[in-house]
Amino acid sequence: MRKQIAAANWKMNLTYEQGEKLLQDILAVKIPGQAHQQVIFAVPFPYLIMAKTAVAERTDYSIAAQNCYSKKSGAYTGEVSAEMLYSIGIRYCVIGHSERREYFQESDEMLAEKINLLLVQETTPVFCCGEPLEVRKAAGQNKHVETQLQKSLFHLTAEQVSKLVIAYEPIWAIGTGQTATTEQAQEMHAFLRSVLEKQWGKETAEAVSILYGGSVKASNAAELFACPDVDGGLVGGASLVAQDFVQIIKALK
């Protein structure tokens, strides 16, 4: 079975103490993780070492950065490189979240550079893609996400792509309380997998975990994760509430 993943994206939330307590509360619940399941916490840069230390004894729990820069090193004040993340033991990094694309004008070409640097550092990119509401209303979602994949991923080999995690974000459902129906989620995830298969073959397409990211909650996680091509979730607001995120972890296939 493909890796089933519950990924928490804390975004720019929580103080150090609040983040530490949230991890403690989640870890206090002894969830019997299975070999094909992974829990990932994407935390703000200042909390990476604290969070990594907190989950050190859990092989099924990992820590991710929420971003990295598109250059290896240099005079880029305020940025963080893939090499820096690797040097402190971080092995996952979220790339191309819709908020990064919208607020910081990150292009597909820039994301391709970030992915290249992360793969050199043996760090798994969690690559986000998805359409805004106006594209969905115009029934252009398939073309939109296919273009995102083409521009950011199509230069990679099958072996490299198999190391990625993809997160599909219907942007119109992020933080709005709206959620894609299970039919919409499955349809888009199946389409994304078909794009992977067309470019790199069925074996590679079947190996890549594709997460759903759009107002995943404790109340809808099980239904969404039951879809055959949905391999877990990238969770925002609900990941900041220990009891909610615990239920989401338990909902993994």
Contacts of 162 (CB under 8 A, 6+ apart): 204, 207, 208
CATH of 4-250, one of 3.40.228.10, 3.40.50.10300, 3.20.20.70, 3.50.50.60: 3.20.20.70
In terms of Cβ atoms closer than 10 Å to its own Cβ (0-12, 13-18, 19+), residue 161 is buried
H/E element, 27 = helix 16-27
Choosing from 144, 169, 189, 197, the catalytic residue is: 169
**17 an active-site residue?**
no
Structural tokens at position 179: 């959620």
Dist. CA 222–CA 191, nearest whole Å: 21
**189 an active-site residue?**
no
- For the chain, the domains span 4-250
pLDDT over 80 (residue 176): no
Among 8, 45, 2, 1, smallest CA distance to 26 is for: 8
Choosing from 97, 106, 131, 189, the catalytic residue is: 97
Contacts of 145 (CB under 8 A, 6+ apart): 129, 130, 131, 168, 188, 191, 192, 195
pLDDT in tens, 112-168: 999 999 999 999 999 999 999 899 999 999 999 999 999 999 999 999 999 999 999
Dist. CA 16–CA 47, nearest whole Å: 7
Tell me the residue type at 131. Answer: E
In terms of Cβ atoms closer than 10 Å to its own Cβ (0-12, 13-18, 19+), residue 155 is exposed
pLDDT in tens, 68-122: 999 999 999 999 999 999 999 999 999 999 999 999 999 999 999 999 999 999 9
pTM of the model: 0.96
44: number of CA atoms within 13 Å, CB side? 13
